[in-house]
Copies of this chain bind each other. A is one copy, B any other.
Amino acid sequence: MNDLTLDYLFHPQSIAIAGVSSDPTKWNPGRGYMYALVGSGFRGKIYPVNPSGGEIDGTKMYASIKDIPDSVDYVISAIPAQYTPRLIADCAAKGVKAIHFFTSGFSEIEDEEGEHLESEILKVVRQSGIRVIGPNCMGLYCPRTGLSFALEFPRQSGFPKQSGPVGLFAQSGGNSIYCIREASARGVYFSKVVSYGNAVDLNECDFLEYLAGDSETEVIAAYIEGVRDGSRFARVLKEATKVKPVIIFKVGATETGTRAAASHTGAIAGASKVWESLLRQSGAIQVYSMEEMVDVSLAFLRVPRPEGRNTAVIGVGGGASVIAADECSNAGLTLPTLPVHLRRRLKDMYTTEAGRIFRNPVDMVPFTGPEILADSIRAIADCDQIDLLIMHVAFDMWALIDVNDVTAVYVESILDLKGTIDKPVAVALHFCAADRAKELASQARARLCEAGFAVYPSMGRAASAVNKVIEYHEWRQRSHEGDS
């Protein structure tokens, strides 16, 4: 049953959607999927299904899957749970390869009927060989082939059409959507995303194995509530981490979370200590929020492996520098004091200004303009004792005063660094709650992202993400040495 490749899931020629309402004044999930596929540029055929037949936006609706004149590769079910056994029977008769059940109301609810229906699905599916995604999930997003679960389309513009190197599988649909939107705003795009819910058939092991072998995927991210087969998961994970980074957010880590996970996707969560040691031993990267999942993915994509942990922290603000130093240390990075000759050189550059700190963190208010700032950053980057640079810019007071436009000077100087220094760089943009500060920070983020920088909303998040990249490479190296 465990296909080595699930590639066909992401390349259907024809999709039927069961449960498309014909009433255009009322949103319904079935129609949401139709719009999402059309909007994402899906080039195959789309067949809406509604027991009453009729039309939707000029497209004929079929009363049953069986009535569709062509072959159907993939079916999206947005019908109530009690009608699903019949749908599966029709799909089996039609030779459908896979069904995605958006439909909920199975083992995740407190209801014998739900559990019964779920085991019915599994039985019919095992007999027919149809593979199932879900139930109780959003399904597939694959920008290259036009698959999408951006059901809010056309009100929103849908998910990005741009492909990227991150493959995500997540039991929660809401968290998948959050991750896609958050990531794309920060320059991280996806090869394939699977929201897989209750995992009655295809599960985390299948998706992990597939993404590990998928040439379009360079980094794997996963949101897991619980696994069905722990030993297979451990085995698959160990193989996957050998070939690419695997970032895992394991929830249900507390007793209460475990109960919540059972209610959400019927998952058996497992003790958090067991998970922690499994992930550490496997070389997987454990994260503790969806935000951190995006943070670390971004670091893998945009921060080349630093040679060590010696970090230069450069920005504006005394207090911000002190906090930055603590946050870098807490994340596992080290901030060596810059050598005396370099500090003297920097001091000479800023001779007319008081109040700068040159030890590291380096606090420079560039009243003197962008050239001196860019030169001083390059001087620090040239220092042999420094492995990477983290720049921080705070959109607070200085950003709100026109004089010399300190913040703009910083942003321009960072943009200028591109290609002129050979050390890894990350950027932390912090902002106060003033509308103007938010707007400026947002503009700066967009420009820096566009230029290819890894941009974080705080120093702590930047430092922690970069440190996880270093840890992964250290683990790879250790386990490689162990092999030889």
Contacts and interface: CB of A to CB of B under 8 A. Distances in A.
Contact of A251 (B323, B432, B433): B323
Contact of A328 (B32, B256, B329): B256
Interface in A308-335: 317-326, 328-330, 334-335
Contacts of A359: 110, 259-260, 263
Instruction: Determine how many copies of this chain the complex contains.
Output: 2
A394 interface: yes
Given A173-B319, A251-B326, A354-B109, A181 B432 contact: yes
Interface stretch (A150-158, A202-210, A420-428, A467-475): A150-158
A225 B326 CA distance: 11
Contact of A110 (B328, B358, B396): B358
Interface string A237-274: 00000000000000111111101110111000000000
Interface residues of A, number: 86
Contacts of A329: 254-257
B319 A181 contact: no
Contacts of A256: 325-326, 328-329, 334-335, 361
A152 B397 contact: yes
26 contacts: A81-B354, A104-B355, A105-B354, A108-B355, A152-B397, A155-B400, A156-B436, A171-B319, A172-B317, A173-B318, A174-B397, A178-B394, A181-B433, A181-B434, A182-B433, A251-B319, A254-B325, A254-B329, A256-B325, A256-B328, A257-B329, A259-B359, A263-B361, A264-B319, A265-B318, A289-B323
